[in-house]
Structure 1
Amino acid sequence: MSTTPPVIQRFIAATNAGDTAAFLEAFTPDAFLSDWGRDFTGRAGIASWNETDNIGVQSKFRLLEVEPNGADAYRVRLAVSGNGYNGDGTMAFTLTGGRISRLVIS
């Protein structure tokens, strides 16, 4: 397993702590998030997804694997539990300036 970038560590820690402010701060202001084809743009869009699909349903993440996937990009496999989705999932992160600029969940 590759070294986990600090912003991805913060993304996981903020989710697990239920810290919405820290979670949103991990993203660039114009970030894009796609969750199985459901698209969200900007912090307001990501905040909406967070409420319905992440911290809002008490999600918890356990890191299983992280691998580089190009320049400033990482493929991360997580075990997810909570009151929403439960199971393993893959997230593709693109980072810009130490924050998440693109996140695709598949």
Structure 2
Amino acid sequence: MHIDQPQDIAPDALPEVITRYLDAHRAHDTATALGAFHPDATVTDEGRTHRGAPAIAAWLTRSAGEYTYTTELTGARKADPDHYVATHHLEGDFPGGAVDLHYRFTLSGGLIEALVIEP
């Protein structure tokens, strides 16, 4: 079985639903960010998985207010039409002060089915 190697793409070549989520998350627009997800989607962040719209909404609200930070989209990769990675550089008042995080997206039906955020 042949599996394509992920390829670097321009960050502006990410699918619209990913860009919409990232922009809304950065703007602390929970309703718009949540609209990019399937109702039964999962988000895994800091080792915890949040499943379904209510849990993801709570995670979005909490993550928006927990720390003050700036984020810059520094890279993007495409594994296949349903799997993308957006790399962000964050700097702020969280432990360590700076980190590069990989947002691993799985898409289905034009929406985000799963998001895993990890270094």
Shorter-chain TM band: 0.7 to 0.9
Structure 1: which 5+ residue stretches go unaligned? none
Question: Which stretches of structure 1, 4 residues or more, deviate above 6 A after TM superposition?
Answer: none
**Which amino acid in 2 is paired with 1:56?**
G
Q: Computing the radius of gyration over CA atoms, which structure comes out larger, 1 or 2?
A: 2
RMSD, aligned CA: 1.9
- Aligned counterpart, 2:113: 101
Identity over aligned pairs, percent: 35
- List per-residue Cα deviations over 1:9-45 (Å, max 9, x = no partner): 1111101222111010011100011113201001111
Aligned to 1:11: 21
Q: Which amino acid aligns with 2:99?
A: G
TM-score, normalisation: structure 1: 0.85
Q: Which residue of 1 aligns with 2:65?
A: 56
Whether 2:42 is the aligned partner of 1:35: answer no
Question: How many pairs align?
Answer: 105
In the alignment, which of 88, 96, 99 is matched to residue 100 of structure 2?
Answer: 88
Q: Which amino acid aligns with 1:90?
A: H
